[in-house]
Structure 1
Amino acid sequence: MTAGDRTTAATAARPAGPAEQPLITTGQTATTTGQAATPGQTATTAARPSAAADQLTLRVLSALLREDVLGLRTRGTVEDRADGRWLTVPELRLALPVRPEGFQSEYAARLPLLELAGRRLTGPDTVVAALAESAEPEDRPGWAAFAEECRQTLATMELHERVRPEVHERLADLYGADPADWTGLAAALGHDALAAYLDHPVYPTARGRAGLTEPQLRSYAPEFHSPFELRWLAVPAGALTVHGDRPLPSWWPTPAWLGLADQCPGEGWATLPVHPLTVGAPLDEALAATGLAGRAVLAERPYLTVVPTLSMRTVAVADDPACHLKLPLATATLGRLNRRTIKPGTLLDGAAGQRLIEAVLARETRFAGRVLHADEQSWAHAGHELLAVLLRRYPAGLEQASTVPLAALLAPAPGGRLVVDHLADRYYGGDVLACYDALLELLLDWQTTLFGHGVALESHQQNTSLVLDRDGLRLLYKDDDGPRVHTARMTASLGELAPAREEFDDARIFGEDDRPLTDLFATITGHLCTGALAFGLADHGRAERADTLALLRKRTAEAVERLGPVGEPLRAALLDAERLPVKAMVTAGTLLSKQRSGAADINKHYTSGPNYLREQPGEPAFDHPSDHPHDQRRTDGTAR
């Protein structure tokens, strides 16, 4: 890519840090191994696991139970002991203290421990190692990878506890003490930083990033809100596939700006931004694989100050925060198979997905100005998942608005209150439930309308933002490269506006069945965008759970009802079904290979959980839904 005249570029030194070393050494135990104890007593350990270790152990055990790993759910029975309920699996000589949960699983871990053959084990390292002994031999590498994820995550959680006060103080100094005052797209990055301290609603080790050191996290992770400068690669223009008609921003450099005029003479060169974490062996391997080694030139000096967003591989341009750059990283999050690179086909899908959304908006004019979408038509790649960039441009008119990802709403803000508390004070007279209701009305109306046109989006809590200002509430979307489309319904409803299948790269996007759409709706719009808030607001004492769930049921039913007959599959899957699909992210993303899990798409591989959208009186009954269509594994955790 080339650019016009240069404007003044902001510069900022990369934060200094100690010599880089692993965040936690592979194989190093993060907690003390539990020792033998008599039944009913906790083992004596040399050192009590930290509060962070206990929190992580609870999340790990709950996730493994939810996903029925090793058949914990389908082979287990619940019994009452003197201290509470326990799930026992006699075949594995295993017992787990549990409590009723209701959100994606009937039960969750009640205490951060596992009883195995009469021994009580504590700490994520010990618990995972013990469970791995019951796994099939061919699955042991996945369990080893998960153990390493736990070590990385625990070290990151403990780092977060140390640095969060100083980061909050810095954010308050930059943008103000009240997050409701954080208006404009530059200040919106502060909300991303706050959200980065929260755990993912599904994946237990989401705060870990494979292989990164503490200095690297401090320099480039969103929770530190540290500006840094990009590296740039000059490549022969013919080596790039480029998409987009809009001119590049004036700050996009030419090779001459980067000091490469002698090495890259003439007009036949383009420049590609590279994240600093990709420079080195990953970049060298990518250049060799594409035949660009010795042809492409990496500029020695960094250029263009950026700030990380909640999606660490996406950065905002400091002097032009309406422009974000999505850059590949040679790391993984949300599972060892969830690499943060950018496959060239996803750029094609994202651009076509945006055009699909705009086609629906053209038909549904009542959403005009209320549903916004970033422009994702400008991208380039050199035929490799580490040599790519997406230039994302945000819509105008957000300078006076609070733009907040759904993922940040339950995050503690400077001063200790939640982000949603501040927004409710500013825009809803202090009524948090009214703020939640306003979100539900618009979000569910929009998402069910999309379903009526044969479309379901993977618009999770990171890709969906609230936009609040004096004109009320709007929604802002981005990153629609993984939708599911009912081909016939989309074509019939959108007519000449419907994008052709050939405009997309991933053939899995299209089908003639509503099931992929209802699954995606339930797991993304349902669990991650609305259900997690219903349960989270109650857990934080902002409302009664019965009230938040009743409101969610009501707004979902109203939105589905507006669709008429075309909404019947959604009604059957969401409101009337006994169980809901639930992402099996640990299984598909880390523990099992794709061959073993049978997952065609690791982000769309499901088990099942209770339907909190149905009124079910009394306590949850522990069931054995091994024959349910969403339970796609045998009880030993292998693929059917």
Structure 2
Amino acid sequence: MNPTPAPEVPEAHGRPAAPHEQGAPGGPLAYETATVPRQLGGGLDDAPGPAAPDHLDDPDPCTAADGAACENLLRCWVRENGLTAPDGDMLRVPLDASGTALHVPVRYWSAAGWHRFGPPVLQGSPHGSGTVDAVTVAALLGREADRSEGADLVGRVADSVRHTARFIAERRRSPAPPEHADLFLAAEQSLLLGHPLHPAPKSREGLSESEVRRYSPELHGAFPLHWMAVDRSVLAADSAWTEQGRPLAAERLTSRLAADLAVPAGCAALPLHPWQARDLVHRPAVARLLDAGLLHDLGAHGEPWHPTSSVRTVHRPGAPVMLKLSLAVRITNSRRENLRKELHRGVEVHRLLRTGLGDRWHAAHPGFDIVRDPAWLGVDAPDTGPVAGLDVVLRHNPFAHGDDAVCVAALTSPRPWPGRPGMYSRLADVVDRLAARSGRPRTAVSAEWFLRYLDKVVLPVLWLDATAGIALEAHQQNTLVLLDPEGWPAGGRYRDNQGYYFRESHREALERSLPGIGTRSDTFVADAVTDERFAYYLGINNVLGLIGAFGSQHLADERVLLAALRRFLAAHAGLGSPLPAQLLDADVLRSKANLLTRLRGLDELVGPVDTQSVYVGLANPLRA
């Protein structure tokens, strides 16, 4: 594919001037403060209206965090209830259960769903009306949905707002990454606001204030691992890890990480998250193993490791291994303990790619790969089998040599730091620098960047589905884009041993490639469910989410990018994946509903894949 810029559209008001507009590429950013466009439908050419302060620029971090949370809740409600663009500048959200309504100023209406809203005002209440905060909005929406989990939602939203305010305050004081951070870690720790369509993206139930400081990537947390020694009679492990063609056992890998640690004879070293280690000793199954001498608590040891954007996966610059640890803290919708089927799945996918599938994939798309999870350790109790909470994944670290790899969620997330407007993301910074270097408009640069992204990141994922019947849960946090030195997409990586869908229609071919595949990993999924999830994760969350980021940050006209996406999908409809035709032809797509999932109290790691979360119909913006 040879990307070409999409048609240009006029520049938006209210954006920071590009560095080249000040004659110093990469220098301080100036604000255009005269007007802010009132945009409906994603255009950049609507008539500007009076400037309005962005809540993300508010000097009070609590106000900024609360405004961000209100926007998230309202975006979710709009999507999950099929609300359409208002005729004017005000969105009315009926609240029949409370006998009132929210009147919400619309700063920007996004065809892809990344709307921008001002502070909501409660009207029609017998107690008067006025601006309401995120906790009140959560309570009202929970009551409107008539769900018993409304109180839980309110608590989660309050927790998320509190953490977000702390993150904003800290990063405004110290926006630069620590000196020890490599490019990958700096990107992983830059996601301050989280998923723009989740009601409580930064809620972390179970962590104290001091633990939030220590374990949060947003606060540049760091800690030594906690170690246990596992008697080999109860050790569970598997490894497809190789070095120079020679197999390497999982316990050999952890013994390297635990150098100078005194491990009792006949035992293997098992790394744990320190919060998890403290929690585990109170669980009866673990206490019995400790009492029987089959587990030995060795305490904290070694150099600090650093939490990445998932909180529980840790990275150490220069280390060949990352660790995906179990952590029984509810983050977004789930308690994040590794499941044994996921451990099998990671090793299984690595082995499958080594049957020749990986070589074919790289020949077609040399810039894309899966971040491999080829080894794991856990504990099997003598009578009861796998002991929950003690499993750890040993992940390849392909970014140990300074690659500029950033997950799409961090790339697009607003960074309300000093001297920048609230919606100024790393994506905006990349586009501004490319525009300054080339002298081209941001709109043209954005269109070319988007086309290159489709070619380097999206097309390889479609190829894998078409060729092998494997759909990836490639949402924005699981998808990393590799940036070249100028900032253009040069390739991509997918990560997450939870997020593979083996199509039932490809079972026979996959079993021929790797006999026994899916037996322990529970990865085969009906094609109809695969189609729904693939369309959401890659189509809606990832690509449409990226379009919404370009639009809401006034970098591009969403209509232009949607047209470019349609052309891309039409060009690759014959590849063999059902997704291009589905996205082009369906009037309604099925979208995950994070607010309803939360209100129904669902844990997305529990139960059958087709019932783990709530899905709703979404009018397809590609058909609008």
Shorter-chain TM band: 0.7 to 0.9
1 CA distance for matches of 2:175 and 2:115?
34
Does the alignment pair 1:488 with 2:496?
A: no
AA matched with 1:189 = L
Does the alignment pair 1:228 with 2:223?
A: yes
Query: Following superposition of structure 1 onto structure 2, how do residues 304-323 of structure 1 map, counting pairs within 5 Å?
Result: 304-318=303-317, 320-323=318-321
Partner of 2:349 in structure 1? 353
Structure 1 residues 168-196: Cα deviation after superposition (integer angstroms, max 9, x where no partner)? 2344x556xxxxxxxxxx331001111x2
Task: Compute the displacement of 1:51 (Å).
Answer: 3.5
AA matched with 1:321 = A
AA matched with 2:373 = E
AA matched with 2:513 = L
Q: Check the 8 A contact 1:588/1:605 in 2, yes or no.
A: yes
Q: Check the 8 A contact 1:380/1:388 in 2, yes or no.
A: yes
Partner of 1:579 in structure 2? 588
Partner of 2:363 in structure 1? 366
2 CA distance for matches of 1:422 and 1:466?
15
1 CA distance for matches of 2:267 and 2:138?
51
Partner of 2:165 in structure 1? 158
Structure 1 residues 51-93: Cα deviation after superposition (integer angstroms, max 9, x where no partner)? 322331232133234324xxxx5xx899878x73424354652
Partner of 1:52 in structure 2? 65
Partner of 1:127 in structure 2? 137
Partner of 2:41 in structure 1? none
Q: Check the 8 A contact 2:97/2:143 in 1, yes or no.
A: no
Partner of 1:591 in structure 2? 600
Does the alignment pair 1:88 with 2:86?
A: no
Partner of 1:462 in structure 2? 477
Distance 1:464 1:427, change over 3 A: farther
Distance 1:380 1:491, change over 3 A: same
2 CA distance for matches of 1:517 and 1:585?
19
Secondary structure (helix, strand or coil) at the match of 2:330 reads coil
1 CA distance for matches of 2:271 and 2:253?
15
Task: Compute the displacement of 1:321 (Å).
Answer: 3.1
Structure 1 residues 379-424: Cα deviation after superposition (integer angstroms, max 9, x where no partner)? 011122310111101348x625312221221244897463235545
Q: TM-score, normalised by structure 2?
A: 0.75
Distance 1:80 1:443, change over 3 A: closer
Does the alignment pair 1:505 with 2:505?
A: no
Q: Check the 8 A contact 1:354/1:480 in 2, yes or no.
A: no
Q: Check the 8 A contact 1:106/1:609 in 2, yes or no.
A: no
Distance 1:343 1:116, change over 3 A: farther
* Pairing partner for 2:532 from 488, 501, 519: 519
Does the alignment pair 1:536 with 2:549?
A: yes
Task: Compute the displacement of 1:536 (Å).
Answer: 0.6
Does the alignment pair 1:329 with 2:331?
A: no
Structure 1 residues 17-68: Cα deviation after superposition (integer angstroms, max 9, x where no partner)? xxxxxxxxxxxxxxxxxxxxxxxxxxxxxx9983322331232133234324
Partner of 1:378 in structure 2? 375
2 CA distance for matches of 1:410 and 1:325?
25
Distance 1:286 1:163, change over 3 A: farther
Query: Following superposition of structure 1 onto structure 2, how do residues 83-482 of structure 1 map, counting pairs within 5 Å?
Result: 84-88=90-94, 90=96, 93-97=99-103, 101-103=109-111, 111-115=119-123, 117-118=125-126, 119-120=128-129, 122-134=132-144, 136=146, 139-140=147-148, 142-171=149-178, 186-194=182-190, 196-244=191-239, 245-247=247-249, 252=255, 257-259=260-262, 264=264, 266=265, 268-285=266-283, 287-288=285-286, 291-295=289-293, 296-318=295-317, 320-335=318-333, 338-357=334-353, 360-367=357-364, 369-382=366-379, 383-395=386-398, 399=401, 401-411=403-413, 412=415, 416=420, 418-423=425-430, 431-452=445-466, 453-469=468-484, 473-482=490-499
* Pairing partner for 2:74 from 61, 69, 86: 61
Distance 1:603 1:189, change over 3 A: farther
Secondary structure (helix, strand or coil) at the match of 2:455 reads helix
Secondary structure (helix, strand or coil) at the match of 1:479 reads coil
Secondary structure (helix, strand or coil) at the match of 2:229 reads strand
2 CA distance for matches of 1:89 and 1:458?
34
How many residues are aligned here? 529
Task: Compute the displacement of 1:463 (Å).
Answer: 1.9
Distance 1:90 1:407, change over 3 A: closer
Task: Compute the displacement of 1:503 (Å).
Answer: 4.2
Distance 1:111 1:572, change over 3 A: farther
Q: TM-score, normalised by structure 1?
A: 0.74
2 CA distance for matches of 1:90 and 1:275?
46
Secondary structure (helix, strand or coil) at the match of 2:490 reads strand
Q: Check the 8 A contact 1:255/1:270 in 2, yes or no.
A: no
Partner of 1:562 in structure 2? 574
Give the superposed CA RMSD.
Answer: 3.5
2 CA distance for matches of 1:418 and 1:511?
36
Structure 1 residues 113-134: Cα deviation after superposition (integer angstroms, max 9, x where no partner)? 4446455361122233344445
Distance 1:240 1:208, change over 3 A: same
Q: Percent identity?
A: 25
2 CA distance for matches of 1:88 and 1:299?
57
Query: Following superposition of structure 1 onto structure 2, how do residues 15-30 of structure 1 map, counting pairs within 5 Å?
Result: none
Task: Compute the displacement of 1:256 (Å).
Answer: 9.2
Task: Compute the displacement of 1:375 (Å).
Answer: 2.7
AA matched with 1:343 = L
Distance 1:58 1:472, change over 3 A: closer
Partner of 2:10 in structure 1? none
Q: Give ranges in structure 1 of 5+ residues lacking alignment.
A: 1-46, 176-185, 617-640
Q: Check the 8 A contact 2:456/2:489 in 1, yes or no.
A: no
